[in-house]
Structure 1
Amino acid sequence: MLRLPVILFFTLFSFVLIKAQVTVGGIVTDVSTGEKLIGVTVIEVGSNNGTVTDENGQYTISLGSDTASLKFLYIGYTTQTIKLNNLVFLNVALNSEELLDEAIVIGYGEQSKTKITSAVSTIDAKTLKKLPVPTVSNGLEGLASGLFVRQGSGEPGFSGSSFEIRNFGNALVIVDGSPGNIDDLDPNEIENISILKDAAAAAVYGVQGGNGVILITTRKGSIGKPELNYSNQFTLNSFTQYPDFLNSVDYATVLNEGLVNDGQSPFYTPEEIEAFRSGSDPINYPNENWKELMFKKYGFQQRHNLNISGGNQKIKYFASAGFLNQGSNYTEDVLNYNQYNLRTNLNAYVNEYLTLQLNIAGRRRLNEAPGYSAYDIFRELSRALPNNLAYYPDGTPTRPSFSPNHIIEGIRDFNAGYYRSRNNNVDAKISMEWDAAQVGIIGMKLKSYASLVNNVYYNKTWGKSYELFTLNRLTGDFDEYVASPEGSFSETVLTHSMNYSNHYVLQESANYDRKFKKHSISALLLGELQNNQGENFYGRRQDYQSDLIDQLFAGSNENKDANGGEYRENRLGLVGRLSYDYSSKYFVESSFRYDGSSKFAPGNQWGFFPSVSGGWRISEEDFYKDFKATVPELKLRASLGTAGYDGTAAYQWLSGFTYNHFFAINETAIPTIDNTSLANTDLTWETITTQDVGLDIEFLNRELKLSFDYFKRYKKGVLAYASGSVPNTLGVGLAAQNLHEYSNQGFETSLTYNKKLNSNWTIGAFSNFSYSRETIEFIDEAIIEDDFMRGNLMLTGGFTNLRRGYLSDGLFQSQEEIDDSPVQDNNDNSTIQPGDVRYVDLNGDGVIDVQDQKVFGNGDKPAYNFSLNLSAQYKNFALSVLLTGAAGYDIYLDGEAQSPLRNGFNGYSYQLDYWTPENADAKYPRISDGGFNDNNFRYSDFWKRSGNHLRFKNINLSYTLPKFGKNNAGFKEIRIFATAYNLFVIKTYDEDFDPQMQSSTGWYYPQNKSTTFGINLTL
């Protein structure tokens, strides 16, 4: 009878057990790559129950409860513990510890990301490789917070961008440990880029790092079989924006309007204007489009790179060869730029304790261009009149009346000479690092480093005469005219120059890095010697007997010129840094740089520049545990540091002399020695102090990351000349002084989001926003006695780069308005007409004069910089979109950009919106003959335009071919892509100039927009 109850009991117990247990399964992947992870340990918390993921990253586990917690453990990844909460299917994405604590390159070393206590940003070199830019500097825009980038020109060979960190000024660029030129590099050579923004990060670079530092590390080999990569880009370039010019009908109409406004008779009759319009007589009434004659729609550019990398336990290697060819948009093949790059990086591991590194790079630039600068060419293009014929019907080049220099005609047929330059660069770096653990000193490494950068420049400009012709209407023959090179009365002129420079760097350093339980200590002591030296010469001759011999020896001995010189400067520095952290929670770091410069007098040559910074990882505190799942990373940073600057000419503590004046003895010119400047033996270092407070936060399983920094900066003892307060009647040049003071404050923030949605989709976004403005605390200015004028005109106390001028109040609409307005022409307004600019009488005295001027505008440097980078990947397709923008700065129109007819200028098409009684709400003043109207072209805010803009910087679409055949036909990867760069820009003004225009008159080679196709092959 007992058997039945027992059976019922165990049956019921088994049912309860089955009811309580639950089976859970899922897939474990890498959060960044989506790769399925094999062998991840999965443990039920509080038990010995566990399993591991299979080759597909899958796991299944039976648990005692559907509310149990699972712990996921994997070497190289952070452990995660997740409560089920009734889930039966749970996918988990693990964070790589390498990404969480990746090594960031800092001054003279590396530091884990979690230990960074100063303001440092990084740029992914992979992004640079995708951009169809001729220079690395062009590709930096929008890729890091606090980095202000501006490309002023798209001219081949001269299209590099200027860049500043936080608007501080030109940043120092360090390539593999020593100063270098960022545009000497091929983007495919770069491993990573770090941007050191505050003094605590950059102080170790002392005199050169006061404006921030950009650290570039080139690629190195890795252990494994040789990997061969080939990539190419084929690009079509066109101008982003550049205005059209007036055609013959508009030009004749505008000229007549200006003459009538000035009380003269029209020059062109209605019949002549109609002849221009109809084109019935193209020889006598042409309608020439000189812009189309000079420029084609597209220029061609191509880049190729071949590199190989690999290595073993003893040696790692990386070698690269690159080629860039950049053609222009000139219709004639008159401008070509070629750049060749070679690099070999070797890391040799002699034994367990000794490592050798050798980096050798070479770069050669070849540039062939017209004999005139882009400034000269676009200046003359603006003066090219449409009613002047370019060629007679038989192709004979004409002699137009508009250009006394005839630059356009000379360039048009490439018969006016040439400009050729060659630049050869060799960059060699060698280092040896010894681990003192060999002798029992654990954590100590000693390093010797040497670098040589050699640059040689050759420049040659050959200007020769060329023939132009005028049709003699009486004889029907062509009258010949010989045009000489601009600026010369000779038919042939040759200038030839050469300069070379050597930059040497020697470093000896000791680095100590140890961890004692929860305490970590790192220390650096480094001595550095830098030496710069170089020579240059210049020669010029003219009046060649033949234009077939373009060599100096063949020119005339008359009116020849020669010059040359050499220079040397030395810098000696001692660097120290000490870092401490407790339990990866509390961090403190101090550093110093003790610098010596030969630019100052003995006694002032040395400067000491310390810094200190600290960090607190709040997310590691015990009280934070309840928030860790939501916000896994929260860190506060703060820093204070100083730097020095010696940016002035050498030896200003001595009086200068010149040999440029002569006197005659027996008809022989004898050079004299004249004093050029006073001496200042007290001249010393400019000091820069920077304060920074930062916050780093990570959300949503570390998929969303936010970084914020607020900073202040002070510059004291800025080297300058007292030219404002000292009259120019002094009779001798002034000595530099530690005179000016500036301050700067701002903030920057960046937001990054990366999410693996599923096995097919990955999305990402990166945005940054920066603000930085510099204030003048004191500069030397002329003394202004009047209180009212001093308040309006003094620059001290305001932002830098502001302008002085008049404030405008629209255009006069009637004679009655003119009569009721203050006098602004010193002649009872008798020369003022409706359509002229009206100015504001600030002091209310009834007269517009210098006392009514005021500092106005925002300056020409953007105060705000922002960008948004969006990316998405679906299976083998990848799409990225980059938008960049800037705000808080002005563009000023000047000269020919203001009005047609000035200085014999034609006119831009946008200038047709000029005032007439029928066009009273016009944007521009009335037309005046010759474009000269002193009233309308005073320096005023009437010609100021807001530079605020949003640019569609880059759109990249790529496809990685799936593996096919046997191992993808031998290739590890085949990727094809298409890119649109500088696609278009949204701006706030109507003039057809790019917001980053280089010249206020429009005389510059415009920036490029481009379309690129290419392929990447990995073997």
Structure 2
Amino acid sequence: MKLTLKQIMPRGLVLFALLLVSHLMVAQSTVTGTLTDADSGDPLIGAYILAVGTSTGAVTDYDGNYSVTVPAGVTQLQFSYTGYSNQVVDINGQSVINLAMTSGQDLEEVVVIGYGTVKRDEVTGAVETVSSAQFNQGAVTSAQELVSGKVAGVQITTDGSPGGGAAIRIRGGSSLSASNDPLIIIDGVPLPTGGVDGSRNPLNLINPNDIETFTVLKDASAAAIYGSRASNGVIIITTKKGKAGADLRVSYNGKVGVGSAIQTLDVLNAADYRALIEERFGAESTQAALLGEADTDWQDEVLQNSLFHDHNVGLSGAIKSLPFRVSVGYTNQEGVLKTDQFSRITYGLNVSPSFFENTLQINAGIKGISSDNHFADRGAIGAAAAFDPTQPVRAENDFGGYYFTPQTGSANPNTLAPNNPLALLEQRDDDSNVQRYIANFTADYRMPFLPALRANVNMSTDRSNSDGTTMIPDNAAFAFEAGGSGGFMSEYDGETSSNLFESYLNYADDLTDGVRLDIMGGYSWQNFYRENSFMRSDLDGSDPEMDDSASEYFLVSLFSRAILTLNDRLTLTGTLRRDASSRFNADNRAEIFPGASAGYNLIDLDDNLKGLNFLKLRVGYGLTGQQEVGGVYPSQAQYLGSQENARYPFGGRFITTLRPEGYNANLKWEETTTLNFGVDAGFFNDRLTGSVDVYQRETSDLLNFIPVPAGTNLTNFITSNVGDLEVRGFELALSGDAISTEKSTLSLSANFTVNQVEITRLTATEDPDYIGVPVGGIAGGVGNNIQIHSVGFAPNTFYVYEQVYDESGTPVEGVYVDRNGDGTVDENDLYRYENPAAQSFLGLTANYRYNNFDLSFAGRASFGNYVYDNNLSNRALYSQLANSNGFLTNTIPAIRDVDFNDAQYFSDLYVRDASFFRLDHITAGYNFADLIGEGSSIRTYITVQNPLLITDYEGIDPEVFGGIDNNIYPRARTILFGVGASF
């Protein structure tokens, strides 16, 4: 039967009236009162009062007042407030109960998880939280730097450039060709992958000073609630917010620092280089005649002492019943490579009012960034290592006054010779501007007739606009073109947007004594859109090349979770998510991702067995997915129009042709299953806490970029579901208070991880003769791939020859071990030798306080990570010293140890152990309490960032993402002074 709106409304009113009458017919009483803070006397706003044994409750108003209707038979009220100890009070016929609540060390810690929070002792998955008090110090511009080395199983490899990005890997990643980046969620808003054109790092969106906590969901049982985007883990970032009833508080954080490159590539100076040339070719040779009279340290010419300063002002508090926080920040950072600069302005506003006696909680906010970048040409790093040190930086010429290597018998630049490194930097303008903001609105409504039931709606938009220009002048020698202008200009702009709508219902209540149920179900819709345009032309605008593109896809999901707690001992958690992605065809579009976990508290505070006050066992299993395939329409037929200069003439007109693209109509989800066993323990009233996790993760139907037979598709390579991958690991995390007195404290924490990754399948059918997929391109020639994906080995394993050495330990050029014993050394003797991924890694943190003085440090160690030294393989060659086209190239001192004339790129000589220990920062500070008024705080501090690096690796830096050391951006050692004030 179909009902109209006019029919529905009267029936609904009748039903509501019946419910109200039945409610009033039950014998009831009313209890009122006021809740305050026991120390300050301030009212507690939004505290929850529950009639014990029922779902009846109330919430305090702005003045801390409450009124709760108590059903017949109820004898107790429970009072709870975030950050305060729960209290249960007997009613005993009282109609007014006023209570002063206390905060203390016995608080129940709340952990942020997907779509909600749980108490720490109810966590059943592998979840770890880092708060702002534990963050790394230093010249931090991007959020990920705050937690580097802080979380077991998480490796963060940062870029040395200002505001640079980072590779974040949780338990080693789960894919080969698809993304291995974790899903990042900021205040409930999932960030899209792919970044923003012209931006160095997507996480530059948020000022590190505004972040309250990082929570990492590491296993599938914890992350499965996010389904298709959680295969590589989830990072939930929560920002600071105002508090109800709080007074206005102003904070300022500022720091200024100077940085310099920790290390440069060891190359020959002018005197040693001149001696080597004369030794090899003779003092009267044509090669020696090419030497100059200068003494130039080219790396010193392109590197600089970099300046850094960062300022952030925040105001927080409450205007009557409106809690708020607003912040503005400014960052300016130079790179150690000249002309490289990053600056940004960040802003944030958050309000969180409550209505209807706090049953409706609103949270609305906007956070944004306006950043400007001047990008340096990183080719200058390699050019500085290669350029002849006997030549001057500048010379009288028509090419900007920069010295260049001339062609033989001509005054024109030799385009085959190394370019003047300083000219590469100063004759290139490469700028971008990025505007980005996230606006979000969340409403959480607790039903008055059933306080245990609440409805939540989350809406957000993430938008960016960016533009950039690159210009090379026509007098740049490095852009010289015979017979024409070598200069050019290019422009690009981009627009991205991600719109999100989510809603869910959550019911959480004590069903009976000792049994609590928390159940949630919801819906999610997210749209991703990207539009780009690009134009390149000569400086006068002639010969333009233009390209425009736009793409869009959707992700629609249903999700649910149930948490059942029995007697505060056993907690069972189950999650289920159904994702549908428009990246796949209809037959493969939707997939279901379940997760289940359990935790059992063997020992808690009530037991306190000989110093062991807490012991919990956890087990979790879950399935997650992957749809980040590097393209928007990989499973659909596409046709691209030809560019303006490639149209087809027909009948006196130029016709735009359509070019078909390759695609895979059968493409489907990559799936990852994870099994996790964990133990959490606390000793001596949690003076020492720790956790151990053992996990196994298996990825099937890998989204792999593989070659296809000629004629079978419209491309040579295609994304397909081929292959399996397995990850096994062990994590240990410990933290404790070694000293805890009124005057001094010393807290220590450490985490240790063992992680191993193995490819278990790469072909649709078993093929023992299939060697794998070559990857890892190196300098020295097109198609030189030094790594390989092979079954039975880790991804990106080095694929090399085994070097033969003479009696003195010097490698013999071109002589390798005949590993298969067939009497011939050829490609069949290549073998798989080590890989870039660390077999184990360690994080250490210490914080010491004596009265108002504090001292802290944080460090990391990596063991078993190997690097291919492409600088050594490409520069330590006698044949590279002098080129037949009339120019010289510098080399490195190790050339005498290697003693090779010609390149031997595939020798295992160049695969080096790059294990290291790095001290990320040492910070000392002093806090001046009540200096500018009661409750005020001014802390001054000094930080040395990257003060110590211990390694046997002889290249610029052992911490190389991908494992190939070639023109790495030098990391900086920075000394900075800072002040933080709050009043």
Query: What TM-score, normalized by structure 2, do the two folds share?
Result: 0.80
In structure 1, C-alpha distance between the alignment counterparts of 2:227 and 2:771, rounded to whole Å: 43
Q: Is the partner of 1:204 in helix, strand or coil?
A: helix
Instruction: Name the structure 1 match of 2:677.
Output: 693
Return the match for 2:790 from 792, 795, 810. 795
Larger Rg: 1
Return the match for 1:890 from 852, 863, 866. 866
Q: Does 1:361 align with 2:346?
A: no
Task: Call closer, same or farther: CA 1:1011–1:560 in 2, change over 3 Å.
Answer: same
Amino acid at match of 2:793: G
Q: How big is each residue's C-alpha offset from its partner over 1:561-591, in whole Å with a ceiling of 9 and x where there is no partner?
A: 1110111100100110000111211110101
In structure 1, C-alpha distance between the alignment counterparts of 2:325 and 2:137, rounded to whole Å: 20
Return the match for 1:942 from 909, 915, 932. 909
Within-5 A mapping of 1:755-770: 755-770=738-753
In structure 2, C-alpha distance between the alignment counterparts of 1:488 and 1:429, rounded to whole Å: 56
| CA deviation after TM superposition for structure 1 residue 845, in Å | 2.6
Return the match for 2:295 from 287, 307, 318. 287
Amino acid at match of 1:1018: S
Q: Does 1:581 align with 2:565?
A: yes
Within-5 A mapping of 1:424-439: 424-436=435-447, 438=448
| CA deviation after TM superposition for structure 1 residue 78, in Å | 10
Return the match for 1:723 from 707, 716, 722. 707
Instruction: Name the structure 1 match of 2:980.
Output: 1016
Amino acid at match of 1:742: L
Task: Call closer, same or farther: CA 1:897–1:227 in 2, change over 3 Å.
Answer: farther
8 A contact 1:753–1:766 mirrored in 2: yes
Instruction: Name the structure 2 match of 1:210.
Output: 231
Q: How big is each residue's C-alpha offset from its partner over 1:40-62, in whole Å with a ceiling of 9 and x where there is no partner?
A: xxxxxxxxxxxxxxxxxxxxxxx
Q: Does 1:739 align with 2:722?
A: yes
Task: Call closer, same or farther: CA 1:963–1:675 in 2, change over 3 Å.
Answer: closer
Return the match for 2:354 from 346, 349, 355. 349
Within-5 A mapping of 1:674-713: 674-680=659-665, 682-713=666-697
Return the match for 2:599 from 595, 615, 623. 615
Return the match for 1:441 from 441, 447, 450. 450
Q: Does 1:243 align with 2:269?
A: no
In structure 2, C-alpha distance between the alignment counterparts of 1:397 and 1:722, rounded to whole Å: 45
Instruction: Name the structure 2 match of 1:50.
Output: none
| CA deviation after TM superposition for structure 1 residue 695, in Å | 0.2
8 A contact 1:897–1:1002 mirrored in 2: no
Instruction: Name the structure 1 match of 2:121.
Output: 114
Instruction: Name the structure 2 match of 1:219.
Output: 240
Instruction: Name the structure 2 match of 1:41.
Output: none
Q: Does 1:751 align with 2:757?
A: no
Instruction: Name the structure 1 match of 2:311.
Output: 304
8 A contact 1:137–1:162 mirrored in 2: no
Q: Does 1:872 align with 2:848?
A: yes
Return the match for 2:161 from 151, 155, 172. 155
Task: Call closer, same or farther: CA 1:984–1:897 in 2, change over 3 Å.
Answer: farther
8 A contact 2:370–2:433 mirrored in 1: yes
| CA deviation after TM superposition for structure 1 residue 197, in Å | 0.4
Amino acid at match of 1:464: P
In structure 2, C-alpha distance between the alignment counterparts of 1:380 and 1:542, rounded to whole Å: 25
8 A contact 1:313–1:349 mirrored in 2: no
Return the match for 2:384 from 355, 371, 381. 381
Return the match for 1:996 from 960, 964, 969. 960
| CA deviation after TM superposition for structure 1 residue 310, in Å | 0.7
In structure 2, C-alpha distance between the alignment counterparts of 1:834 and 1:523, rounded to whole Å: 66
Task: Call closer, same or farther: CA 1:176–1:860 in 2, change over 3 Å.
Answer: same
Q: How big is each residue's C-alpha offset from its partner over 1:240-280, in whole Å with a ceiling of 9 and x where there is no partner?
A: 222242122222333345558xxx995567xx89xx9xxxx
In structure 1, C-alpha distance between the alignment counterparts of 2:640 and 2:961, rounded to whole Å: 38
List gaps (5 residues or longer) in structure 2: 1-38, 41-82, 88-101, 174-179, 192-201, 407-412, 774-786, 883-887
Amino acid at match of 2:938: I
In structure 2, C-alpha distance between the alignment counterparts of 1:744 and 1:136, rounded to whole Å: 27
Q: Is the partner of 2:657 in helix, strand or coil?
A: strand
Task: Call closer, same or farther: CA 1:723–1:422 in 2, change over 3 Å.
Answer: same
Q: Does 1:987 align with 2:951?
A: yes
8 A contact 1:138–1:160 mirrored in 2: no
Amino acid at match of 2:315: I
Instruction: Name the structure 2 match of 1:592.
Output: 576
List gaps (5 residues or longer) in structure 1: 1-34, 37-74, 80-94, 277-283, 468-481, 545-554, 815-832, 916-921
In structure 1, C-alpha distance between the alignment counterparts of 2:881 and 2:352, rounded to whole Å: 63
Task: Call closer, same or farther: CA 1:175–1:662 in 2, change over 3 Å.
Answer: same
Return the match for 2:817 from 820, 836, 840. 840
In structure 2, C-alpha distance between the alignment counterparts of 1:486 and 1:326, rounded to whole Å: 35
In structure 2, C-alpha distance between the alignment counterparts of 1:592 and 1:939, rounded to whole Å: 48
8 A contact 1:594–1:606 mirrored in 2: yes
8 A contact 1:812–1:836 mirrored in 2: no
Q: How big is each residue's C-alpha offset from its partner over 1:397-424, in whole Å with a ceiling of 9 and x where there is no partner?
A: 4334496389854844965240110000
| CA deviation after TM superposition for structure 1 residue 713, in Å | 0.6
Amino acid at match of 1:141: S
Q: How big is each residue's C-alpha offset from its partner over 1:526-578, in whole Å with a ceiling of 9 and x where there is no partner?
A: 1000001121111122142xxxxxxxxxx12xx21111011110010011000
Return the match for 1:229 from 228, 245, 251. 251
Q: Does 1:807 align with 2:814?
A: no
Return the match for 2:658 from 656, 660, 673. 673
Amino acid at match of 1:862: A
Work out the number of aligned pairs and report it.
841
Instruction: Name the structure 2 match of 1:315.
Output: 322
Percent sequence identity over matched residues? 21
Q: Is the partner of 2:391 in helix, strand or coil?
A: coil
| CA deviation after TM superposition for structure 1 residue 369, in Å | 3.3
Amino acid at match of 1:135: S
Within-5 A mapping of 1:527-566: 527-544=523-540, 555-556=541-542, 559-566=543-550
Amino acid at match of 2:791: T
Instruction: Name the structure 1 match of 2:345.
Output: 340
Q: How big is each residue's C-alpha offset from its partner over 1:630-675, in whole Å with a ceiling of 9 and x where there is no partner?
A: 1000000000111122222344333333444654436865443343
Task: Call closer, same or farther: CA 1:761–1:578 in 2, change over 3 Å.
Answer: same
Q: Is the partner of 1:851 in helix, strand or coil?
A: helix
Instruction: Name the structure 1 match of 2:831.
Output: 854
Q: Is the partner of 2:225 in helix, strand or coil?
A: helix
Q: How big is each residue's C-alpha offset from its partner over 1:263-312, in whole Å with a ceiling of 9 and x where there is no partner?
A: x995567xx89xx9xxxxxxx5222222222223x210000000011126
| CA deviation after TM superposition for structure 1 residue 156, in Å | 2.0
Q: Does 1:960 align with 2:927?
A: yes
In structure 2, C-alpha distance between the alignment counterparts of 1:788 and 1:124, rounded to whole Å: 46
8 A contact 1:289–1:386 mirrored in 2: yes
Task: Call closer, same or farther: CA 1:728–1:150 in 2, change over 3 Å.
Answer: farther
Task: Call closer, same or farther: CA 1:785–1:697 in 2, change over 3 Å.
Answer: closer
Q: Is the partner of 1:836 in helix, strand or coil?
A: strand
In structure 2, C-alpha distance between the alignment counterparts of 1:300 and 1:135, rounded to whole Å: 17
Task: Call closer, same or farther: CA 1:388–1:896 in 2, change over 3 Å.
Answer: farther
Q: How big is each residue's C-alpha offset from its partner over 1:420-468, in whole Å with a ceiling of 9 and x where there is no partner?
A: 10000011000111111x1x2130010111000001110111111237x
Amino acid at match of 1:140: V
Task: Call closer, same or farther: CA 1:796–1:489 in 2, change over 3 Å.
Answer: farther
8 A contact 2:872–2:910 mirrored in 1: no
Instruction: Name the structure 2 match of 1:823.
Output: none
After the TM superposition, which of the residue ranges 671-680 and 742-751 deviates more from structure 2? Answer: 671-680
Query: What TM-score, normalized by structure 1, do the two folds share?
Result: 0.77
| CA deviation after TM superposition for structure 1 residue 237, in Å | 1.2
In structure 1, C-alpha distance between the alignment counterparts of 2:347 and 2:432, rounded to whole Å: 20
Amino acid at match of 2:968: Y
Q: How big is each residue's C-alpha offset from its partner over 1:89-124, in whole Å with a ceiling of 9 and x where there is no partner?
A: xxxxxx976665200000011010000000000112
Q: How big is each residue's C-alpha offset from its partner over 1:452-500, in whole Å with a ceiling of 9 and x where there is no partner?
A: 0001110111111237xxxxxxxxxxxxxx6646999524311101110
In structure 2, C-alpha distance between the alignment counterparts of 1:487 and 1:568, rounded to whole Å: 43
8 A contact 2:660–2:714 mirrored in 1: no
Amino acid at match of 2:843: S
Q: Is the partner of 1:355 in helix, strand or coil?
A: strand
In structure 1, C-alpha distance between the alignment counterparts of 2:167 and 2:494, rounded to whole Å: 23
Amino acid at match of 1:719: L
